[in-house]
Amino acid sequence: METYAWVAPTEMTKGLALAETFGDPAGEITWGRIAGLRLRFTRDCIGPGLGCSSMVQTSESREAAYWDQWNAENRERGQSEVSHRQAYFVRKWLDQSSRRDLRILEVGCGAGWFVDQLVEYGTVTGVDLSPTVLERARERVPQATFFTGDVLDVDLPLGSFDVIVGLEVLSHVEDHQAFIARVHDLLADGGHLMLATQNRPVLQNHCIIAPPHPDQRRRWFSRDELTDLTGEYFSTVRLHSATPLAHKGYRHIPTAWWIRRGLEKYLGPAWARAWAWPMEWAGWGFTLMYHGKKKPNGSRTTR
Ligand SMILES: C[S@@+](CC[C@H](N)C(=O)[O-])C[C@H]1O[C@@H](n2cnc3c(N)ncnc32)[C@H](O)[C@@H]1O
């Protein structure tokens, strides 16, 4: 049986020393990847914060590997119109505060492309399961702080953020209620939650979407389900959809991407946005954009 070492997230220095001692057979030991990874070694290696086990790939490590690959393929080299529109609304909401000293947490920040924009508004912390893309994000956005891991477990001070942003992450966490309670606890009093999450009725009834990958959790929300989920902890400030989309039925004509592209090219981006806005308001958008304000008395359930 092969022996594998594990490295606790708090013991990265020991992990690197271990890698130096025993070599790097998988060729993958770096600061960004070592925490939480199961690394294969040929000799036993045990100490505080380090351990050995026979290798059984856990569902957590498979999920992290899946998101690593997904982010590398879908986000690192550029973002879709859907992502740009999500970023547009979050920035619009942040611009209204006129502040440049906000303490911002982006949960599920993936490749860090939006962290790169959020740093304009203050100090930014990013958390994600994907170790390798986060390592590259650290290099690209050195002024931000990144943590690898589950946002429910990462050691962050409670009540220490003015704004928490999550683009397309809510639908991929295991326990949605615990996620909302956790971001509530991490926000300072009066803090703001800004989420972008897939709009279930649109994706189910008007789009053709591949079934989820076996290592991907996926549960979409409707507008009402999202209000129910967040209601105990947040008062809704805004909730609307973004990026009209349909592959089926009559909706696919007004939502066609080439109409928006044409308007943008020949008349300017404001026209493309004006075309999209009534459909977004009517709930035809791929994404639900949620902006909530922390309720002072939401119950605290942090683990
Ligand atoms: C669909 S991707 C979106 C990535 C990024 N927000 C974007 O819009 O490009 C979902 C991301 O959520 C992250 N994620 C899922 N569950 C998480 C959790 N419990 N804690 C932290 N990140 C999580 C995944 O690793 C993945 O990068």
Instruction: Give yes or no for residue 194 CB within 6 A of ligand 1.
Output: no
Report yes or no: 272 and 264 within 8 Å, Cβ to Cβ. yes
Q: What are phi and psi of 24, to 5 degrees?
A: -135, 70
What was the pLDDT predicted at 181? 97
Q: Whose CA is nearest to atom 11 of ligand 1?
A: 108
Q: How far is the CA of 52 from the centre of ligand 1 (A)?
A: 28
What was the pLDDT predicted at 54? 36
Closest atom of ligand 1 to CA, residue 106:
6
Q: How far is the CA of 130 from the centre of ligand 1 (A)?
A: 8
Instruction: Give yes or no for residue 167 CB within 6 A of ligand 1.
Output: yes
Instruction: Give yes or no for residue 180 CB within 6 A of ligand 1.
Output: no
Instruction: Give yes or no for residue 85 CB within 6 A of ligand 1.
Output: no
Q: Would you state the structure tokens that stand for residue 54, as one six-digit string?
A: 């026979």
> Structural domains in the chain?
2-56 (no CATH), 62-294 (3.40.50.150)
Rounded-to-integer distance, Cα 195 and Cα 191, Å? 13
Instruction: Give yes or no for residue 61 CB within 6 A of ligand 1.
Output: no
Segment 221-247, tens digit of pLDDT: 999 999 999 999 999 999 999 999 999
What was the pLDDT predicted at 35? 43
Q: What are phi and psi of 245, to 5 degrees?
A: -150, 140
Residue stretches of the chain with pLDDT short of 70: 1-59, 297-303
Instruction: Give yes or no for residue 125 CB within 6 A of ligand 1.
Output: no
Which residues are CB-neighbours of 193 under 8 A, at least 6 positions away? Answer: 163, 164, 166, 183, 184, 187, 230, 234, 290, 291, 292, 293, 294
> Which DSSP helix (H) or strand (E) runs through 153?
none
Closest atom of ligand 1 to CA, residue 150:
20
In this prediction the pTM is 0.82
Q: How far is the CA of 170 from the centre of ligand 1 (A)?
A: 8
Instruction: Give yes or no for residue 199 CB within 6 A of ligand 1.
Output: no
